Chain A
Amino acid sequence: MSDCHGCAGCAVAAGPPRSRKALPPHVVAIIGPPNSGKSTLFNRLTGLRQKVANFPGVTVEQRIGRARTKTDREVIMVDLPGVYSLSPRSEDEQVTRDVLAGQMKGIPKPDAVLLILDCTNLGRHLVLAAPILSLKLPTLVILNMADDLHSRGGKVDTAELASELGAPVALISAAKGDGVEKVFQFMEGTAAGTTSLAAPKVELPVLQDIPRCRQWAHQVGTGAAYQAPAPPLWTRRLDAVFLHPIAGLAIFVVVVAGVFQTIFSLAKPLMDGLQAMIQVSGQWITDTMPPSVFRSLLVDGVWHGVGSVIVFLPQILLLFLFIGILEDSGYLARAALIADRTMAKFGLQGKSFIPLLSAYACAVPAIMATRTIESKRDRLATILIAPLMTCSARLPVYTLIIAAFIPEHHLLGPLLGTQAGALLGLYVLGFVAAIGTARLLKSSILKSERTPFMLEMPPYRMPTLRSLGLRLYDRSKIFLRRAGTVILLVAVVLWLMLHLPLQNGKAPAIGDSFAGMIGHSVEPVIKPLGFNWKIGIGLISSLAAREVIVGTLGTIYSVEGTEESAGLRQALQSELTPGGAVALLIFFAFAMQCMSTIAVVRRETGGWKWPAAQFAYMTALAYVCALITNEVVRSGVLTIAARL
């Protein structure tokens, strides 16, 4: 019964309503090879009632959801990582084994297993049935993609297969929802304890011997009159275009540029709208509340602090929408294939391409997306360089400083002005720093044999709205939770630091506040970069998130804290030298000013070692480059002044 305690704990953590009959929840694990439609089925069964976290102590994502059977029994569903076998060579396989054996902390031993296989490729997928059935847990063998099997002329005798395996078999289409009721019926049976284990007709093979297992699968398939479907013609036709030596490359460039362009142009009006809403509602609160310390905390601290981050939600959701479409349609695997050669030149591989592309929006999802890279060293290298790519949080900072210090001239006629050119230059700078660092890492501490690149090409499929919607819902939840916790905390702490210690019962001048004291104390360190103590406060507050510096400087100079504000621009022009301004841009290009990124790197690398090293490296790089920039610009300005 101790299991029930553990599982009650996990149920409370997941926040479900208590089972009405007070029965212990029924625990069902879903397992299947990659590309078997496992997540689609999981979403089908649980809908929005799911939670994403990590398995304790490892970087493997844990998805737990809840479903309810017709008999009104609460079922806890555990989605296991996609694996081909249970031999514990990767973290994914180890986690799968531990969960199924009931040895994973916080997760009770499953009462039943749903084994999902792609029936258009049953020969290979059935191999996984051997280790699963040998566990002697009640198991439903789910043959997914029934619609594909039938439309391409394949056949299988499910009754015969069930008797061969000694386990019930259900032929379903998780994407269309056909046959999902059979899965519920199975769970009702296992929950009621009426399912009995039958002995398989075909003896299970020695699990460590892959050729034997494959032969066993062949034998079972033949016994069940399995007829493999014809090859996916549409996939071959589409590949003729998408992998065409010229057209394929052109499409790749258009897709990448298109994603990049849309997340900026399409997100802009949405972000502006959100920004305006936050401004207006902040103003409304100011107008309705009597002036007080509390109102200042609420409006200046909480509302604008959290608001400045929530503004990025549309952009992040758009990025995930595109990645979702690319992934669900099957094009993502082709993009990784096309990018592999170029990535290999920097010591990385094709699978690093998508995380690095995502890092243009935000390093946090990019680092989470590195999970698809099996090679530990390649994955680590990708995680370490992702924050150097120019993320969207740098944009407000860049825009403000460029507008204040770089006079607008035509560079290439009306096409490209100096300001846009400077912005483009900063993007290139981040990219060059990222690939330079990748080369450095891969030729030193992360040196490895060129890891074999092996990537399964799934057939092309039409992405479903349901799956895309669920992805966006998931991401918004994670993002908003972060804004509501970490960012909120920083906003409140900054506000307090700016308003304490009280002098004669009143908030002090900024220079005398705690924040001011900290700013003054770091001034000697940042002075060589051309920054004064006020910029110092901004730099420290932007450790939470880069864009926070805009709001902070706004507060410090007692002007409106938005990047459009001419007031802040003028204030900066009188505060910063041209050298200091350019140095500030360079500093932001390289420095790891982002708590969320540090937190996600710690989580994904399983400790403080790598985020600490990364933070030190990026800060040192930023400091040295900003120092050099300031000196170069200053002496340049002096030379010009001397000539005049």
Chain B
Amino acid sequence: MMQLSVNKELNGAQNGAMTPQTLAHLPQGEAGVLDRLDLPEDIARRLMELGFLPGHVIVPARSAPGGEPRVYRVDGSEVALRRETAARLILRPPSKGAAKTHKL
């Protein structure tokens, strides 16, 4: 959790007033890199166990008819999330997007 809050400060300092892009904004098929999880610790940990770790690439895939929830490809598996949860997963700005990824 400590590491996450450090990330938060860094991000805030670098982006200034710019609103960070979240996973909910990412169009289907486009890759984004996760920066931090803006969620209570227990929920954040469960998501991290499913592969939603800072630095990992996430690709939105198909959704249920009606647009929600959506399936996300992350760390070798596919996990469905509601939009409200995806909106709390903050992405890195695209420029440094391809930085650190755990590809295994």
Contact = CB atoms under 8 A, between A and B. Distances in A.
Given A121-B76, A210-B53, A211-B53, A454 B46 contact: yes
Contacts of A221: 104
A87 B104 CA distance: 24
A453 B43 CA distance: 10
A413 interface: no
Interface string A177-210: 0000000000000000000000000000000011
Contacts of A215: 102
Contact of B102 (A123, A231, A249): A123
Interface stretch (A21-29, A259-267, A336-344): A336-344
A9 B86 CA distance: 49
B76 A123 contact: yes
Contacts of B78: 456-457
A124 B48 contact: no
A337 B53 contact: no
B65 A249 contact: yes
Contact of B50 (A87, A211, A456): A456
Interface stretch (B15-23, B67-75, B90-98): B67-75
Contacts of A341: 64, 66, 68-69
Could you say which interface size class chain B belongs to? 35 or more
A641 interface: no
Interface in B1-58: 3, 39, 42-43, 45-51, 53-55
Nearest to B44: A210
A92 to B, nearest CB: 12
A455 B49 contact: no
B49 A85 contact: yes
A222 B104 CA distance: 7
A243 B102 contact: no
Contacts of B85: 452-454
A514 to B, nearest CB: 55
A340 B82 contact: yes
A545 B55 CA distance: 56
A450 interface: yes
B104 A211 contact: no
A321 interface: no
Given A217-B104, A218-B104, A337-B71, A243 B65 contact: yes
A455 B80 contact: yes
A93 B73 CA distance: 25
B65 A246 contact: yes
A121 B77 contact: yes
Contacts of B46: 89, 374, 454
A218 B84 CA distance: 30
A248 B55 CA distance: 33
B82 A243 contact: no
A217 B62 CA distance: 29
Interface string A324-363: 0000000001000110110010000010000000000000
Given A87-B45, A218-B104, 13 more contacts: A84-B49, A84-B50, A121-B75, A123-B102, A124-B76, A127-B49, A211-B48, A211-B53, A228-B103, A243-B62, A252-B65, A453-B69, A457-B78
13 contacts: A209-B3, A217-B104, A239-B62, A243-B65, A243-B71, A244-B65, A245-B65, A344-B82, A452-B39, A453-B85, A454-B46, A455-B79, A457-B80
Interchain residue pairs A-B with the least CB separation, the first 7: A123-B104, A84-B49, A121-B76, A457-B78, A243-B62, A249-B65, A452-B85
